[in-house]
Structure 1
Amino acid sequence: MNVSDSNYSPYILFDREKWANLRFNTPLTLTEKEIEELRGLNEKLSIEEVSEVYLPLTRLLNLYIIASQQLHNVTDTFFGEKTRKVPYIIGIAGSVAVGKSTTARIIQALLSRWPNHPKVDLVTTDGFLHPNAVLEERGLLGRKGFPESYNIKELINFLSRIKSGEANVTAPIYSHLYYDIIPNHYIEINQPDIVIVEGINVLQTPRNEDENLPSVYVSDFFDLSIYVDAEVTDISRWYVERFKLLRKTAFRNPVSYFNKYANLTEEEAEEIAAGIWSNINQRNLEQNIKPTINRADIILKKGANHTVSSIKLKKM
């Protein structure tokens, strides 16, 4: 733990070795095969990474969740009534290509093995993007992922219903293959113990000109939030590497929205990916995503090799 700046920073900083020691006796409940299945396309997720970073993290989350459940019971006792079970909501934010989806899947898998909260659901905010037809009509297709490309009202309504303990709440499904919302297809959230909400926009706040938006933020519904961070140069490289891998795999599907990129040469793919990154994703990161980092309760900082090198935990 680094306490040299403890009087000035709202966070306690842990290097990886100190953080790993906080695992104590928490057992590893995932097999190597399961970890491999959770890994992102161009990420290096090892058993060591899960053991040293994510086991201590989920041990801490488990303690937070138990405390929240106890507080809920105490509140029920105070009012003399039994209220509906309310899920613990965890938000996970970060740039495109930083690996937040993998982080969300690992946390989901590990938390679901704890006995006191076995039902853990994962929702991505991609499902709350406006359909491509709407984005085209508004001239926003080239700004997909920017705050204005999301149906924030629908996302807030969804989270409000979840946090009220409502049963059978649905959310739209987004297809990365078609690069669009799938009409009339939904995922159903039915009173889980925990909901993980993952997306680049989950810690953003409405701008002053967003007069039609509700006076609440998406993050108002979170019990805890995590930001996955890395240097911009590293994220850019990961994005380009992932694009080139997709060119050889998913893009080759004839129905893929990005099939037009499947036959690019290595040099052409790198040039186009770098252009998309700098013109769209990096701008969104710098203007809208990165400024929200200090709203997170936990910051996972990745090094150039895609593994977590340090952890910041907000002081209580």
Structure 2
Amino acid sequence: MIKQDVERVCDLISSRRQVEVRTIVAIAGPPASGKSTLAETVVKSLNTQQNSVVPFATLIPMDGYHLDNGVLEPRGLLPRKGAPETFDVIGFCDAIRRLQSARHELFYPKFDRHMDIAIANAIAVHPETPVVVVEGNYLLMDSDPWRTVADAYAATVFISPTLEELESRLQQRWIKHGFDPKSALRRAKSNDLPNAQLVIRNSRKADLNLNQNYTETGTRYAF
């Protein structure tokens, strides 16, 4: 059940709490794996457990570091949006490293899927917030520059359903965006699934692995 996975992640975070530096937790996995929903639920659960005006945990999605369409299009990368080369990876890694020891408020971008743009300074991290959960496809990639931020993560989680399950979820995702089933499947296979295979094949081993191959009250836990 989803509740059990949230509890397992929260227990892992509790066991890896850092002293005198902020605890940063990475939740990674291929597109449509359920990492975003899991990360959001974990942060909500951690904050619910505390009785403080300062958030105990804050969520930073890697999607905020998408390069703008105006940058991607002239480079021929717009059809590949979501692939590693379509992110400001260096900027992302630098920003995550700053989280560990910063004693002042920090601001991070957030991606708006409906507008298809990243919104600057949309997420605030309070200087006294002890835990930050970061979620994204490529966080555990065993290659530079992703590897340069590996030592910043106090705990890592990887979610990986089967490729068959991911294909089904990705097709449904594009259908929800108005594509017919055939076009949705073609879209998933042309970009999303190759990205998923890259993540599964090249990610480092995590402290906790989840498969997320189930449904929760009749609704797929992926969107």
Considering the TM-score relative to the shorter chain, is it more than 0.5?
yes
Would you say the 8 A contact 1:90–1:222 is kept in 2?
A: yes
Structure 2's unaligned 5+ residue stretches are 218-223
How far apart, in 1, do the equivalents of 2:185 and 2:103 lie? Answer: 44
Q: State how 1:296-311 maps to structure 2 within 5 Å.
A: 296-305=206-215
Q: Is the 8 A contact 2:66 2:118 kept in 1?
A: yes
Report the equivalent of 1:271.
182
Matched, 1:233 2:144: no
1:91–1:219 Cα contact (<8 Å) kept: no
Distance 1:293 1:306 in 2: 27
2:192 to 281, 300, 303: 281
Structure 2 residue matching 1:186: 3-state secondary structure: strand
Q: Secondary structure at the match of 2:21?
A: coil
Of 123-132 and 110-119, deviating more is: 110-119
Rounded to whole Å, the distance in 2 between the matches of 1:139 and 1:232 is: 27
For residues 1-150 of structure 1, what are the structure 2 equivalents within 5 Å? Answer: 49-50=2-3, 52-65=4-17, 68=18, 72=19, 85-115=20-50, 119-150=56-87
Q: Matched residue of 1:219: which SS?
A: helix
Q: TM-score, normalised by structure 2?
A: 0.85
Partner in structure 2 of residue 242 of structure 1: 173
Q: Is this contact kept in 1: 2:9–2:157, CA < 8 A?
A: no
CA displacement at 1:60 relative to structure 2: 3.5
Q: Could you say what secondary structure the match of 1:178 adopts? A: coil
Residue 171 (structure 1) aligned to one of 102, 108, 117: 108
**Corresponding position of 2:93:** 156
For the 8 Å contact 2:140–2:204, the answer to whether it is kept is no
Give the whole-Å Cα distance in 2 for the aligned partners of 1:166 and 1:142: 40
Q: How far apart are the structure 2 equivalents of 1:64 and 1:163?
A: 14
Deviations 1:233-261 (A, max 9, x none): 111111222332343xxxxxxxxxxxxx5
Query: SS of 1:217's equivalent?
Result: helix
Equivalent pairs counted in the alignment come to 214
In 2, the alpha carbon distance for the partners of 1:162 and 1:115 equals 21
* Cα pair 2:62 2:136 within 8 Å, conserved: yes
Q: For residue 271 of structure 1, what is the amino acid of its counterpart? A: K
**Residues in 2 aligned to 1:229 and 1:59: alpha-carbon distance in whole angstroms:** 20
Please name the residue that 1:189 is paired with: 125
Tell me the distance in 1 between the aligned counterparts of 2:206 and 2:74: 34
Contact 1:97 1:239 in 2 (8 A): yes
Q: Counterpart amino acid of 2:171?
A: V
Kept in 2: contact 1:205–1:217 (CA 8 A): no
C-alpha contact (below 8 Å) 2:34/2:212 kept by paired residues = no
Q: Distance in 2 between matches of 1:181 and 1:137?
A: 18
The residue number in structure 1 matching 2:221 is none
> Conserved in 1, the CA contact under 8 Å of 2:107 and 2:121?
no
Counterpart Cα distance in 1 of 2:92 and 2:137: 13
The one-character-per-residue Cα deviations of 1:197-255 (angstroms, maximum 9, x if unpaired) are 00111112435xxxxx59x52333111111111111111111222332343xxxxxxxx
> Which structure would you say has the larger RCO, counting Cα contacts within 8 Å and 6 or more residues apart?
2
User: 2-side partners of 1:170 and 1:139: how far apart?
Assistant: 30
Once the 2 structures are TM-superposed, how far is the Cα of residue 299 of structure 1 from its aligned partner?
0.5
Letter of the structure 2 residue corresponding to residue 190 of structure 1: H
Displacement of 1:151: 0.7
